[in-house]
Amino acid sequence: MKKLFSLLFLLPFFAMAQEKIINHTVAPKESYSSIGRLYNINGRELANYNNLEYEKGLAIGQVLKVLVKEGTPIVAQQPIIKTETVIPKNTPSVKPNGEAIYHSVASKETLYGVSKKYNVSIADIKKWNSLTVDDLSEGAKIIVGYSGTNSKAVTIVKKEVAPEEVKNPVIETPKVTEVKKIEPANEIKPIATTISVKSIGTGFDGGFFKTAFDTKEGWEVTKENGTAAVFKSTSGWDDGKYYCLHNSAVQGSIAKITNNANGKIIYAKVLDLIPDIKQNSGIVLRISNAAASELGVVENQFDCTINYSK
C-alpha cells in the first residue's frame, strides 16, 4: 500500500520531466500554423502559449517558445535566422559592398510610419522582408533599404520638412490689373476685391468629417490638452478634409480639435502616430496646414484641446 501511494505521488513529476521548451526563430513566410505542424501542435495554442494574438501574424527573426513532449516527432529542424545578415529574395541588385539597413520596430509603429520615416514604399519594405501582412511586431528588426548606388535606398535622406519649419499657407491676393485714378497724390482709393473663402481652406464649418464625429456612438472619448503643431498637406483646401497625427487615438477615427486661443473647432481624421524625432518633442498633436488655417492658427505651434477615441 505504501509503495502504491509513493508511485501516485511521483507521477506528476514524471509527466513534467517528459516535456521541454524549444526556442524557435521565425523564418521568412512562416506562420503559427506552419510552425505548429513542425512540432505537432495547434497554431492557436502556440500563439496563446506565447501571449500573442494569432490574427496579427509573425515577424522574421521573432523567437517563440514551443512546449513539446519528449519523443514527439519533429518534421524539420528549425534553422537559425540571423536577421542582420540574411537578405530576402527578390531584393533590388546592390553592389558587393552594399549592406542592408535595419530598423527596430517601436511600440504601435506601422508600415506607413516606417515608410515615411525612411522615404521608401510600403511595397518595397514588404518585399525586402518577405512580409505577407501589414502588421509589425514590436522589437522586430526589418530591412528599410540598402547602401550602395544600385540599391533602392542609396542613402537614407530625410528631406521631409522639419515640423518647426512648416509655415501657414501663404495666401496671395488677386493681382490688380486696373488701377483707379489717384486723388490726391500718394492716396489710392480702395479697390473692392472678392476672394472665395473656401479657396483658402476656411469656411467649412469644422470640416468634412464633422458629421462622422457627431454621429459616432459607443466610443469612449478622451479629452486632452497640450501643444499642437502643423504639417504640410495638399488635402483640405478645397474639400475640408482635415487630417492629424496622434500617438493615442485610434487610427482612422475622427478627433475634435479646439484652438484654445479663439475657441474655433475642426474635425480631423487620424492618419498615424507622430514620428519619434527631436522636432516633435513636447508635441501632442500635428494637424494639416489646411486644418490650421480653418482654426485661425498664426504660429507654428498653438495650445489646443483634443477629444478623441482610444
Question: In the prediction, which pLDDT does 268 show?
Answer: 94
CB atoms within 10 A of CB 50: 16
Show the cell assigned to 125: 519594405
Pairwise CA distance, residues 182 & 67, whole Å: 92
Q: What is the distance of C-alpha 236 from the center of its chain? A: 21
The three-state secondary structure class of 52 is: coil
In order along its 310 residues, the chain shows pLDDT tens digits of 555 545 555 555 444 446 788 899 988 888 888 888 888 888 898 899 999 998 888 888 899 998 887 666 555 444 444 434 343 444 443 433 468 899 999 988 888 889 888 999 998 999 889 888 888 888 888 998 887 634 444 333 334 444 444 445 454 555 545 545 545 444 444 434 333 334 444 578 889 998 888 766 566 788 999 999 999 888 889 999 999 999 998 888 899 999 999 999 999 999 999 998 989 999 999 999 999 999 999 888 999 999 998 7
Distances (CA, A) of 12 to 5, 15, 16: 13, 5, 6
Spell out the domains of the chain, with CATH numbers in brackets: 19-81 (3.10.350.10), 97-159 (3.10.350.10), 199-309 (2.40.40.10)
Q: Which residues of 171-180 are buried (b: 16+ CB within 10 A; e: fewer)?
A: eeeeeeeeee
Is 218 in contact with 253 (CB distance < 8 Å)? no
Q: What is the distance of C-alpha 175 from the center of its chain? A: 43
CB atoms within 10 A of CB 147: 16
Indicate the pTM of the whole model: 0.38
